[in-house]
Amino acid sequence: MIRIAVFCSGSGTNLQALLDACAAGTIDGTVALVVSDRKDAYALARAEAAGVETLYIDPRGFAGKEAYEEKVIAALDGHRIDLICLAGYMRVLSPFFIRRYKHKILNIHPALLPAFKGGHAIADALAFGAKVTGVTVHFATEELDNGPIILQEAVIIKEGDTPETLLERVHAVEHRLYPQAVQLIARGRLKVEGRKVHIASSE
């Protein structure tokens, strides 16, 4: 059973998907800690409702990013965390942090990477006139939205889609795909070779 920390800055819908999957037994693990850089993040309320310990740390109270992250690391160590899941966490992690948890940090992105990187992927896909976008679960690396890809799934962009309607369908895929990726790690089925992630058979 792996112990998971989920980092959130907002409403935490992907956190809820992970909490639900752990409760249902479709993830062989438990969410042991939810970390947020925003006191008003609804994700904290979701965690508390599920009986999960939360940690809010105001980044403004530290001299720099590394000092802030050292405080977070101490909490992760104290909770014996095996895997970190970024779920709408709006702070860019430092190379110092990424290197410490190499291949132990997952991120979910609302596009088919390497297309539409960054924080406006839904709007960017619509503005570009793309016919297909999707969801990517990948390992976090020092370069933003550039880590080895674990799972991807396409989402068709429909005529007349708005950012809200497209996001709703993307979220539906995210909430299914993220728990699947976490379970692959929980079962030890992933092997990373350079940019490629190999998935071993479940048999």
Q: Domain map of the chain by residue range?
A: 2-199
- Nearest alpha carbon to residue 14 among 79, 89, 72, 120: 89
Give me the helix-helix angle, 163-186 and 121-128, nearest 10°. 130
Calpha distance 146→159 (Å, rounded): 29
* Statement: the pTM of the whole predicted model exceeds 0.75: yes
Which is the catalytic residue, given 103, 109, 120, 138? 109
139 strand-pairing partners? 106
pLDDT in tens, the chain (203 residues): 999 999 999 999 999 999 999 999 999 999 999 999 999 999 999 999 999 999 999 988 888 888 999 999 999 999 999 999 999 999 999 999 999 999 999 999 999 999 999 999 999 999 999 999 999 999 999 999 999 999 999 999 999 999 999 999 999 999 999 999 999 999 999 999 999 999 998 75
Asked about 109 being catalytic, the answer comes back as yes
Domain 2-199, architecture per CATH = 3-Layer(aba) Sandwich (3.40)
